[in-house]
Amino acid sequence: MTTEAAPPPGSTGTPPAGPTAEEFVSVQQSPEFAELRRSYRSFAFPLTVAFIAWYLLYVLLSNYAGGFMGTKLFGNINVALVLGLAQFATTFLIAWLYARHAAAKLDPRAAAIKARMEASE
């Protein structure tokens, strides 16, 4: 059984030539790409470290501060449940913040780099 489809009408069946390895290396070494990487890393690394620290705090509190985590806040809701749900809220908040950051700062720079590479084909 073959999984190859026929080329679209009007095409010659050969894939278009893409950028060469040298072009990829030159883009990787460009100041524009370095700024894109810096912008990504300056957002992603601190938030990753902060979230891991927040998660480890929750785990350590769960293991070593059972009395505190078992403190009832209201009804059957205790500190552990609130902090556990806050982990989910934090995850969604970070995802939302990253989507905003990517749309505002990363995507336009990446699109400019892509357009420059496609123009050189």
Res. 7 pLDDT band, cuts 50 70 90: low
- The answer for residues whose C-beta is within 8 angstroms of residue 27's C-beta and 6 or more apart is 19, 33, 113, 116, 117
Is residue 109 predicted with pLDDT exceeding 70? yes
Class of residue 94 by CB neighbours under 10 A (exposed 0-12, middle 13-18, buried 19+)? middle
Is residue 108 predicted with pLDDT exceeding 70? yes
> What is the DSSP-derived secondary structure letter of residue 5?
P
Let me know: does 101 contact 40? Beta carbons within 8 Å.
Answer: no
The tens digit of pLDDT for each residue in 78-89 reads 999 999 999 999
Mean pLDDT of 57-76: 93
Res. 26 pLDDT band, cuts 50 70 90: confident
| Beta pairing partners, 77 | 74
Mean pLDDT, the chain, rounded, equals 88
- What are the phi and psi torsion angles at 70 (to 5°)? -85, 0
